[in-house]
Amino acid sequence: GQQVMQIPQYQHVQEGEDFTTYCNSSTTLSNIQWYKQRPGGHPVFLIQLVKSGEVKKQKRLTFQFGEAKKNSSLHITATQTTDVGTYFCAGTTDSWGKLQFGAGTQVVVTP
Amino acid sequence: DTAVSQTPKYLVTQMGNDKSIKCEQNLGHDTMYWYKQDSKKFLKIMFSYNNKELIINETVPNRFSPKSPDKAHLNLHINSLELGDSAVYFCASSQTISGNTIYFGEGSWLTVV
């Protein structure tokens, strides 16, 4: 079964609004990574979080790693049409030995 | 300067045919992967090689056979193609297997008719 759960699967956002996508695991993660895939493109690495409670920002994107290192979130403020795409979280543990991808959140932005 | 390059980008073929997708990375990474992405965007790992050795082989039909002649190349051969094989296949690489950043190729769009 899927070890990294991601919600929502789809997100329709009005341009200028904020939204958040969430990633959850039943297992404590060593790190979590976020990727973005533009329509017709390939997944591209955005960021990696390693420490408990870590928060990182990239312009309008805020990434957070939970205190228990079992969940993460990506919050986008003032959504723009360039934010369209699918956002994947991916986590790993020492025992998994590989990166497990979530199902992705497909984001559609309405002008 | 494409880091992970795969060919062909588009492939339309008939059921029952055999096809190959080639992949090369110039990042000096030890680990390479094949992922399959279906129409719902699920990214499913198929295979992983570390220094030419197969280390991950998910539940993939044995019609799919990866080959890694050296650590910079990982090719995927598919026999007896079926309609359900239609998907985007991504080659990828990472420094090592242990949770490092994954660099994806641009994808190969396979359509089986």
Q: Give per-residue pLDDT as tens, B45-75.
A: 999 999 989 988 888 899 999 999 999 999 9
Residues of A with CB under 8 A from a CB of B: 30-31, 33, 35, 37, 41-45, 48, 86, 88, 90, 92, 97-99, 101, 103-104, 106
Can you give the pLDDT at residue B73?
A: 97
* 8 Å CB contact of A99 and B102: yes
Q: Which residues contact B80 (CB under 8 A, 6 or more apart)?
A: B16, B17, B18, B63
Highest mean pLDDT among A32-46, A96-110, B95-109: A32-46
The residues pairing with A41 across neighbouring beta strands, listed in sequence order, are: none
Q: How confident is the model at residue B81 (pLDDT cuts 50, 70, 90)?
A: very high
Angle ∠(A12,A66,A26) on CA atoms, nearest 5: 85
* 8 Å CB contact of B43 and A99: no
Interface contact B102, partner A, CB < 8 A: yes
Q: How confident is the model at residue A99 (pLDDT cuts 50, 70, 90)?
A: confident
Compute the average pLDDT of residues B75-80.
Answer: 97
Task: Report the percentage of chain B scoring pLDDT > 90.
Answer: 82
Can you give the pLDDT at residue B18?
A: 98
Can you give the pLDDT at residue B1?
A: 61
Task: Report the percentage of chain A scoring pLDDT > 70.
Answer: 96
- CA dist B13 and B30 (Å) reads 32
Residue A108 has pLDDT above 90, yes or no: yes
Can you give the pLDDT at residue A90?
A: 95
Q: How confident is the model at residue B21 (pLDDT cuts 50, 70, 90)?
A: very high
Amino acid (1-letter code) at residue A76: I
Interface contact B56, partner A, CB < 8 A: yes
Amino acid (1-letter code) at residue B47: F
Residue A57 has pLDDT above 80, yes or no: yes
**Is residue B110 a contact partner of residue B19, using CB atoms and an 8 Å limit?**
yes
Residue to test with chain B: of A10, A98, A106, A107, most B Cβ within 10 A: A98
Q: How far is B77 from chain A (nearest CA, A)?
A: 21
- CA dist B102 and A94 (Å) reads 17
* 8 Å CB contact of B104 and A44: yes
Compute the average pLDDT of residues A61-82.
Answer: 97
Parallel/antiparallel/unpaired status of strands A105-110 and A10-14: parallel
* 8 Å CB contact of B104 and A48: no
When CB atoms are compared, the residue of A30, A33, A88 closest to B101 is A33
Which of B79 and A3 is assigned the larger pLDDT? Answer: B79
Distances (CA, A) of A88 to A45, A96, B101: 9, 18, 13
Average pLDDT, chain B: 93
Residue A95 has pLDDT above 80, yes or no: no
* 8 Å CB contact of A104 and B99: no
The residues pairing with B35 across neighbouring beta strands, listed in sequence order, are: B45, B90
Average pLDDT, chain A: 94
Residue to test with chain B: of A25, A50, A94, A99, most B Cβ within 10 A: A99
* 8 Å CB contact of A98 and B90: no
